[in-house]
Structure 1
Amino acid sequence: MKKTLLFFLISIQFAFAQDKVVRMGIVGMTHDHVFQILNNVKHEGVEVVGFAEPDKALAMKYFAKYKLPENLWYASLDEMIEKAKPEAVCDFRSIIEHLETVQKCAPKGVHVMVEKPLAVNLAAAKQMEALAKKHNIQLLTNYETTWYASNHEAYKMINEDKAIGDIRKIVIHDGHSGPKEIGVTKTFMDWLGDPVKNGGGAIIDFGCYGADIMSWMMKGERPTSVTAITQTIKPDMYPKVDDEATIIVTYPKAQGIFQASWNWPFDRKDAEFYGKTGYIIADRSLQMRVRKGNRNAPPEEKVEIKPLASPMNDPFSYFAAVVRGKVKSENDLGSLKINMVAMEILDAAVKSSKAGKTIELK
């Protein structure tokens, strides 16, 4: 009887722990993607317990605009960890600072989600990976495209339903007319246009989306080579970094082309998936264009897609669900496994563009 009661109490305690909201901290407010959480701090499974931002004037400006209590502000990540005791942290700083966030959070068992890409280069990514594994924390990367239902439907059609045969080519377009042109904040632009703090320009800012989606679609397979060409078409606007990039990755029987641009007339994030027996054209809408069969197949059709269900439709709720063990993220778009491959691609792409040659991956 006592054993049964003990088992019951343990089960209740475990269930309560799983349902308990995740105490989440925000580190940095210089990345404009922080507006994702400022616009709405209430997300399923999440309690925001603090914002760590050394620039108090910047923090107070946003706190006033979004009507947040001043007691949520902390002058540093260390202070926030000590006083607010977050279980998880979302990083909205420059990419080069992602490593420092993991260095401070991992030893304390604090899980981390960074804004894309994972790291400023492969060397930093490897340090972050080692820390995450040593201290058994979750280390995720947040991309806007992770929350597109079309990408998940395309993955299902390609890798589960085998609807268009084996992948032969994936062409991914990501970009806009330029960060200055669309009016990003000065605090964001100060590091976005810095080749050290950002790792590059458009090649990093938008090339990372293609690297992530391709690595995911290929189930974590490493490419055999990476070739990249970059240009700075607007040196008066972006004197230190590229604003135009094309990355080509090869596999034994497939190829990926990622077109990253700060020069397009319109914002776009879309992908074309070509298989042996069909193709899928997908963007952020709830509709895809699909054609299947041989050369005499019927014309392409428009396929309606269902919206993603919670927590798969929100980065913060998803992060909380991963922390609580409700979602397994090992092979997801934001997972460490997939993003280590994506970082290898990005790192090789930057090296290729500088050297003017293809980088062969051993």
Structure 2
Amino acid sequence: MNTMMVPTCGVPGLLLMLLTLFFNHVSARERLQVAVAGLSHDHVNTLLNAYQQEAVEILGIAESDQALVVHYQERYKLDDVLFFKTVDDMLQTIRPDIVLAYNAISEHVDAAEVCLPLGIPLMVEKPLAATNEHARRIAELATKYRTQVFTNYETTWYGSNQTLKRMVDGGEVGKLKKIMVKDGHQGPREIGCSEAFLSWLTDPEKNGGGALIDFGCYGANLMTWLMNGERPIAVTAVTRQLKPALYPMVDDDATIILEYRGGTTGIIQASWDWPYSIKDLTVYGEKTSLHAVDANTLVLHSSPKEQVDIPLVKGYFDGHLSYLQAVLQGDVNDHMDLSSLANNLIVVEILHAARESAKRGERILLH
């Protein structure tokens, strides 16, 4: 059988150009189209790197600090047309798939006040809100306008954590007895966070606290997920200022204990005083324990001396952009997953109780 081939050189140049433009347009539209609220959070660099690699489209950036605008324009070669003074101004001009907030935690509610009534979903960097009042207002807006709100954590995309969760749900460790999470680093100043980021990260009003908020939220998020949305019955916390000269207004070290019905205990160690960066999760069950050492390492311990490296499951999302694209298209049910509003309302409640416990020196009951 003869197969007729059409040589490329036989296609007129104009047709080739039109086909190229068409496929480039289709490819671009398949990428997530986002807008940015604020540039003061250093995590925005992850998004801007993805933009440079054409993994996402940025339709607009709202930032009132002109020095920050100039900094990021020069670093990432961003066009003037992308920039707006406020989120409100920006959303009068463009209509993104979602707004990504990279601003102070206390300002998340302000972004929600603008985005959600327009039916535009919102993703904030962890945690969801600085206070219970802000979190409840965001939830009220999300419900009223039937619009999704997500919270982004680096640890959501760890294959080790996703594999650990599947094994726990599959009964491979037995009943959960204890969950331990260690999160933090040497300190935000010590690791070179930008001054724009530090200006609110070390402010008790704008961030909601210090290490307790910055890194305690990871543990609260993971524990709420592992406990399938169950709220703890009590929270006890101790905070310290180990480096008051560097962080005079906020705690830089926190230990939080969560008590659950049925006897499960959660222990969160959040600090800006580790000797190195750490994001580590361990669960202890009736049968064995699992230790997610880092993003790519999961170890099963059947005894202190016996351990097995567990192969990681494939198929979960590699980051927030691929996740958002899937969930906004209706391909993923986000109920009570790590990014969900339901999970993160409980996270803020835990953090609020932890602050109160540390302040009052008391065990706080959650009603």
TM-score (norm 1): 0.90
Give the secondary-structure state (helix, strand or coil) at the position aligned to 1:41.
helix
**8 Å CA contact retained: 2:34, 2:100:** yes
Corresponding residue of 2:265: 255
1:61 positional shift: 1.3
Whether 2:201 is the aligned partner of 1:196: answer: no
User: d(CA) in 2 for partners of 1:172 and 1:199?
Assistant: 20
1:336 aligns with 2:322: no
Does the CA contact (< 8 Å) of 1:286 and 1:306 recur in 2? Answer: no
Which range moved further: 123-132 or 46-55? Answer: 46-55
- Which residue number corresponds to residue 220 of structure 1? 229
Is the Cα–Cα contact under 8 Å of residues 33 and 92 in structure 1 kept in the other structure? yes
Unaligned runs of 5+ in 2: 1-25
Would you say 1:302 and 2:312 are equivalent positions? no
In the TM superposition, 1:285-300 aligns within 5 A as: 285-292=295-302, 299-300=306-307
User: Distance in 2 between the 1:189 and 1:96 partners?
Assistant: 14
Deviations 1:302-342 (A, max 9, x none): 11214555xx1111221222122122111210101111111
Query: 1:156 is matched with which residue: 166, 170, 186?
Result: 166
Worse-superposed segment, 233-242 or 85-94: 85-94
Contact 2:241–2:252, Cα closer than 8 Å, also in 1: yes
Q: How many residues align?
A: 339
SS of equivalent residue, structure 2 residue 219: helix
Give, in whole Å, the separation in 2 of the partners of 1:118 and 1:76.
20
Residue 270 of structure 1 aligns with which residue?
A: 280
Rg: which structure is higher? 2
Tell me which amino acid in the other structure corresponds to 1:277. Answer: K
> What amino acid maps onto 2:111 in structure 1?
T
- 1:87 shift after superposition: 2.8
- Contact 2:59 2:96 (8 Å CA) reproduced: yes
User: Which string of whole-angstrom CA distances, capped at 9 and with x for unpartnered residues, describes residues 95-143 of structure 1?
Assistant: 0000010011110001000000000011110110110011011100000
Q: Which residue of 1 aligns with 2:194?
A: 185
Q: Deviations over 1:228-284 (max 9, x none)?
A: 000001110000000000000001220000000001110000011111111001032
Which 5+ residue runs of structure 1 have no aligned equivalent? Answer: 1-15
Contact 1:87 1:109 in 2 (8 A): no
| RMSD of Structure 2 on Structure 1 (CA) | 1.8
Q: For the residues of structure 2 that align with 1:320 and 1:59, how far apart are their CA atoms?
A: 27
The answer to whether the Cα contact below 8 Å between 2:293 and 2:299 also exists between their aligned partners in 1 is no
In structure 2, what is the equivalent of residue 358 of structure 1?
A: 363
1:108 to 118, 141, 150: 118
Q: How much has 1:20 moved relative to structure 2?
A: 4.8
Specify the SS of the correspondent of 1:78.
helix
* Percent identity between the two aligned chains: 42
Counterpart code for 2:138: M
